[in-house]
A and B are shown apart, each in its own frame.
Chain A
Amino acid sequence: DIQMTQSPSSLSASVGDRVTITCRASQGIRTSLSWFQQKPGKAPKSLILAASTLHSGVPSKFSGSGSGTDFTLTISSLQPEDFATYYCQQYYSPPFTFGQGTKLEIK
């Protein structure tokens, strides 16, 4: 099985900051990676697919990059609504494993 490791597991930042979350796969997955945002008590929401393609309706402040084993999610100019938990998921080979999540909190 492919293991997905996210870092950091938690992150404190201020409104207006730019943050980067990293996701590493235990083996190459090309660009078969998605990023999700989840707020407390809500279903996850797709942000990015194929490592760098923004899902419909997602603002351009979110961006993704990477291929192979190393991937990043960058959020520019943080706003209060961006504070949430973020997950990566590989869909290269089943089981389609998730990272453990990164909780982004307000400093």
Chain B
Amino acid sequence: GIQVEQSPPDLILQEGANSTLRCNFSDSVNNLQWFHQNPWGQLINLFYIPSGTKQNGRLSATTVATERYSLLYISSSQTTDSGVYFCAVESGGGADGLTFGKGTHLIIQP
């Protein structure tokens, strides 16, 4: 099956810093999503981005499908950005389930 690798596994930054999280995948995909998992375990949808670039406030994401990677950018980090960020992909017909990376654990220090 498709492989998903996220880097870095852990990232510690000061408040106000910018960060880039990377997701590499091993095959072409029909779906790529970025999630933020909050301390209570809820997965919050950040982006649905199988290709192209999207922006939402301080967050933006770019997927280069031909090169099989996606980047999540967080600018002017806040302590509330802390948590685990997951990239997940699907290469089937939309009903096959997502394959998740292991996540990037982000800690933003005040």
Instruction: Tell me if chain B binds chain A.
Output: no
Interface residues of A (CB under 8 A from B): none
Interface residues of B (CB under 8 A from A): none
